[in-house]
Amino acid sequence: MDLYRLNQSESPGEAAAEAYLEERRRLRRLIRETSDYEARRELNREIRQANQAAFERFVVEWMQWAVEPENSPTAKLLSFLQNIFVVARQKVNDTDALVEHQRILREGSQGNFPDLCKAVSRSPAMIRYLDLNLSTRERPNENFARELMELFTLGEGNYTEADVYEAARAFTGYRTNARGRFFLSSEAHDHGPKQIFGQTARFDGDAVIDLIFEQPASERFFVREFLKTFLSSELPPEPYIEALGNRWRFYKFSIPDLVSTVFQSRIFFDTRFRGTLIKSPTAFYLGLCQDLLLHPPPFPRRLLNELRSMGQDFQNPPNVRGWVGGSAWISASTVSARRQLVDTLFRPINEDRLNADDKAALDQARKQGKTPIQVQRERLQQIASVDRTLLAEHLSGYFLSIPPSPEFIATLESLLENSSEQNVRQVVRSVIVAMLQSPQYNLT
Amino acid sequence: MKQPSLTERFPMTRREFIDRSGKGGLGLLAFGGFIPSFLARAAAAQAPIPEKDRTILVLIQLAGGNDGLNTIIPRHNDVYHNLRPTLAIREGLLDLDDQLSLHPSCNALHRLFNDGQLGILQNVGYPNPNRSHFRSSEIWETASDSEVISSSGWLGRYFDNTCQGSPAADQRAESTSSPRAVHVGDVVPQALHGRESHSVFGLRPRGRFGSGGNAHVNAAYERLLTTPSGNEQTAFLQHTMMNVLVTEQRIQQAIEKDRTQVRYPNNSLAQSLKRIAALIHSDLETRVYFVSQGGYDTHANQLNAHARLLGDLSDAMAAFQQDLKAKGRSDQVLTLTFSEFGRRSAENAGAGTDHGAAAPLFVMGDAVLGGLHGTAPIISPDAQDIPYTTDFRSIYASILEEWFAVNSTDVLGQKFAKIPFI
């Protein structure tokens, strides 16, 4: 499996972010030129709207990109990295920064982990999310330095409070310019000597990251996170983690090397490892589209709302720890939202009732070949024409990642038995919908 | 460094991985399965709590940051009038004492105040106030110190606590398909997130809810949920989903069955509270309800918008209280409002107010000691934040100890002085 085939021509959200920046530059110029309070307020409102519009394009483009089977390994790796280097829309509140953060992770995922950490420390979204922009020589803000050690690289217990404080000094002066890109404010930066992990020198931010990767814990922390996400929530014993970490250090913390080492075991494809992880809302959504041969709807508000209802607000994890995942995805309201989504995908869209924006979006999606977005009658007809005695096996084989119990198949068979020539399509539809809502389909 | 001989220690292929795990090396077969504790526990049926002891908390979030000074108005305070040339409210005031008045659109709340069913907790906040909506809401919902990030909510930890103390409580909720908490909206409020997972049900303010679907789909879905799966993880999901289904049906029925005579206003807060009253009156064991009213972020042209919001709030709360009385439940329910912050003492150039700090809260119910609690804010002419005089966690501590009869230190991590409003 080639995890690193990146299609550079298609970068979700980048064009939208570019357009937003352009518009913001124009509006800010107008703001500078006027002293009228009302006019300024109106212009600021327009900036916020442009930001929102770009964000809406971002979610649509991201979903449309991630649903393509050739992109899905990259999308999975990106989602994983985004759940390490967490930033949240609510605080960052800038579509360009969010898109740029994603670009940094995507590019960085092809190199070494320490380099990725350095790039992330310069990410405009991160600078804002963990308050680096507020961190000055006089008052270093520890937020980033702490999470760098605790959540990104080492894990709790592998550094002292003094290390955090001194590291925070090294990251002072990280700022973004008017174009939203990184620069170091020499004025705000603390150039003095710092003592970190027992060493004293005039460390800067990058030097701190290099020091971190001299710590033994650095070779195991990320490996553990990686296995927890891609293998199983329960980790193999320490000696295996140590061996893997050791090897990883030898290969200079290369992310592609770690990925291929773990995935060479082809553990992904083994049925004995399937059906143990609860799909994330995003994975659930994309999986439904892939299995039903659909494209995600080009309607940003609907997408955002569906993802939020299932408990995974787009680009907006609840806190710096990111999504907890696993059984935490499952609650009364998220279960209902998952069922609702399946139901929606099987309902025809009443195009007359779409608003103008959505209508235009649908027309454009048609032109780009990014339809259908709902299950078509013909497709159900096709499935319904499968020999009825084989249909239960056929459906569960096609949709479920683990072979279900014989009782499950028997239940499907008995549900399908009720169909007659007249209502076969209706019955098949109901059975498929119920199956996609079932616990079995929620597992991967 | 010599390259470690990886193949000796780390299985390189899937087959090897699994073979070794089968021989006890990795124990992979146990991977990924978490044991649903409630399945493991014995399902000992428990006598229900006597109704009279079943206390209920309803939280109303005023999202956006409610302007405290124009809610409880210091009508004789010159500084207030000077700092707010256009926003100070001078007419139609509803007096609370010789200094303070309620906003003119809060007639209904004023009546409750005079009847001793409404308490006003003045000047509530926390040290080192944060002006971010997101962060300050998080602080209120997690009851953390301003500098500490906590992921669990104060009510979530209360749930954690009660199930550790008495597994029977969760067991009973489980067996009666009662969620621990019900909130209105799609997203579970952070206040309800525990360290452990609890059943929390999301309701909509209007219309039908639940998973929709037609009867055929629902019948098929139910059949699949009750089919043995032979897999632990699937069993966990089956159990949870079945629970949701049953809960949905019960909640839908409770709402449909409700025949209240009370006329609720048509705003969505009032409609949400109407549903909550119906659920409280049903046989659900749920003890925490959460609903949010948005729009309080009044940076510009605040006067009318704020009046409408407070009017909606006042009418909705009064209708709710009246309904609870009619249902004979008003002694069981405590209703508390909160907002992430108050607003600045001085108005801004746009006839609005910017993010501030301390603000008053309302608390309503038969069990409430009506009147003003705490001290009135001191407004300084330099137009900065109003310093708080009551820590919001003192209010939580009072509710936890006096209303829920649990040890507040276990939930809040610190001891806070209680306020005698219950």
The residue of chain B nearest to residue A321, with distances taken between CA atoms, is: B151
Write out chain A's pLDDT in tens, 444 residues: 344 334 444 589 999 999 999 999 999 999 999 989 889 988 998 998 899 899 999 999 999 999 999 998 899 999 999 999 999 998 898 999 999 999 999 999 999 999 999 999 999 999 999 989 989 999 888 889 999 999 999 998 899 989 999 999 999 999 999 888 999 999 999 999 999 999 999 999 999 999 999 999 999 999 999 988 887 766 778 888 898 899 999 999 999 999 988 887 655 555 555 566 889 999 999 999 999 999 999 999 889 888 988 889 899 987 788 888 887 788 777 888 899 899 889 988 878 778 888 889 999 999 999 999 999 888 888 888 888 778 899 999 999 988 888 999 999 999 988 777 778 888 899 999 999 999 999 988
Nearest to A340 among B1, B17, B212 (CB): B212
Contact state of A335 with B197 under an 8 Å Cβ cutoff = no
Of A73-87, B228-242, B359-373, the one with minimum mean pLDDT is: B228-242
User: Smallest Cα–Cα separation from B186: which of B199, B198, B201?
Assistant: B201
pLDDT surpassing 90 at residue B232: no
B86, B136, B241, B250, best to mutate vs chain A, most A CBs in 10 Å: B241
Q: Give the number of other Cβ atoms within 10 Å of residue B206's Cβ.
A: 12
Q: Specify if A202 maps to a domain.
A: yes
Domain boundary among A246, A270, A294: A270
Average pLDDT over chain B reads 80
Q: Specify if A107 maps to a domain.
A: no
* Residue B187: per-residue pLDDT: 66
Q: Are strands B118-125 and B359-364 parallel, antiparallel or unpaired?
A: antiparallel
Q: Which domain holds residue A404?
A: 377-442
Same structural domain for residues A383 and A241?
no
Same structural domain for residues A125 and A256?
yes
Same structural domain for residues A126 and A243?
yes
State the number of CA atoms in the 13 A half-sphere of A77 facing the CB: 25
* Residue A333: per-residue pLDDT: 73
Q: Specify if A256 maps to a domain.
A: yes
Q: Give the number of other Cβ atoms within 10 Å of residue B295's Cβ.
A: 14
B347 vs A267: which has the higher pLDDT = B347
Cα separation, B309 vs B290, whole angstroms: 18
B180, B223, B340, B354, best to mutate vs chain A, most A CBs in 10 Å: B223
B12, B204, B217, best to mutate vs chain A, most A CBs in 10 Å: B217
Q: Specify if A301 maps to a domain.
A: no
* Burial of B120 from C-beta contacts in 10 A (0-12 / 13-18 / 19+): buried
Please report, for residues A94, A102, B63, B307, B357, the alpha-carbon distance to residue B353 in angstroms, rounded to integers and kept in the order given.
24, 36, 15, 14, 12
DSSP A11: -
* Residue B160: per-residue pLDDT: 84
Q: Specify if A261 maps to a domain.
A: yes
* A390 contacts: CB under 8 Å, gap ≥ 6: none
* Residue A141: per-residue pLDDT: 87
Contact state of A415 with B220 under an 8 Å Cβ cutoff = yes
Q: Specify if A315 maps to a domain.
A: no
* Residue A266: per-residue pLDDT: 53
* Residue B43: per-residue pLDDT: 26
* Residue B272: per-residue pLDDT: 94
The residue of chain B nearest to residue A233, with distances taken between CA atoms, is: B32
- Complex prediction ipTM: 0.86
The residue of chain B nearest to residue A405, with distances taken between CA atoms, is: B229
Q: How far is A183 from chain B (nearest CA, A)?
A: 25
Same structural domain for residues A252 and A401?
no
In the A/B pair of chains, how many CB contacts fall below 8 A?
A: 204
* Residue A5: per-residue pLDDT: 39
Same structural domain for residues A242 and A382?
no
pTM (whole model) above 0.90 = no
Q: How many domains does chain A have?
A: 2
pLDDT-based confidence at residue B42 (cuts at 50, 70, 90): very low
Same structural domain for residues A385 and A260?
no
* Residue B209: per-residue pLDDT: 59
Domain boundary among A245, A270, A295: A270
Cα separation, B417 vs B422, whole angstroms: 14
Q: Determine contact, residues A234/B31, Cβ cutoff 8 Å.
A: yes
Q: Determine contact, residues A35/A43, Cβ cutoff 8 Å.
A: no
Same structural domain for residues A128 and A257?
yes
Q: Specify if A334 maps to a domain.
A: no
Domain boundary among A270, A291, A326: A270
Give domain B56-412's CATH architecture: 3-Layer(aba) Sandwich (3.40)
pLDDT surpassing 90 at residue B389: yes
